[in-house]
Amino acid sequence: MLRDFAAIDFETANQELSSVCSVGIVIVRNGIITDRFYSLIQPEPNYYCYGNSNIHGLTAKDTDNEKVFSEVWKQVEPLIEGLPLVAHNKGFDESCLKAVFRTYRMDYPDYRFYCTLAESRRQLKHLPNHQLHTVSADCGYMLTDHHHALADAEACAEIALQLL
């Protein structure tokens, strides 16, 4: 059973995977949430698509004066050091992380990722879908602010504690 990990969620400003505009991270140690981290990020490229903003509610007005990813990640690195990462749809979040590392010419440390979406599809076949809010509700966690990166990371952490 996975007892130590960092659940992570990104929101993006546009269709470019490198355009992360917020990150939420929930640290779990010994099966208990011990820390939370949230930050807005000035995206790269720095423009917003209506569809993305409509989903998460963020616009350029929210992030124009925020730090860029490379600066935010300096705060994140010590929090997640030595921990595997968990995401609900790791394909998206891991791709975002790799894309933004490339954009800022940072060396990617080859993080180990686990996926609660894949695991929910494997274990929770009775569900009508495996969207984050559906799976978290089935696991007894009510996701109240869906598409806020920290709220989504916390829901992912709760799911991981039950399924991974």
Give the contacts of 94 (CB within 8 A, at least 6 positions apart): 85, 87, 111, 113
pLDDT (0 to 100) of residue 61: 97
Fold for 5-163, please state it.
Answer: Nucleotidyltransferase; domain 5 (3.30.420)
Query: 29: which strand partners?
Result: 32
Q: Is 60 exposed, middle or buried (0-12, 13-18, 19+ CB in 10 A)?
A: middle
Residue ranges in the chain whose pLDDT is less than 50: none
The answer to whether 41 touches 65, Cβ cutoff 8 Å, is no
pLDDT (0 to 100) of residue 1: 83
Amino acid at 138: D
pLDDT (0 to 100) of residue 94: 98
* pLDDT single digits (tens) 81-115: 999 999 999 999 999 999 999 999 999 999 999 99
Per-domain residue ranges for the chain? 5-163
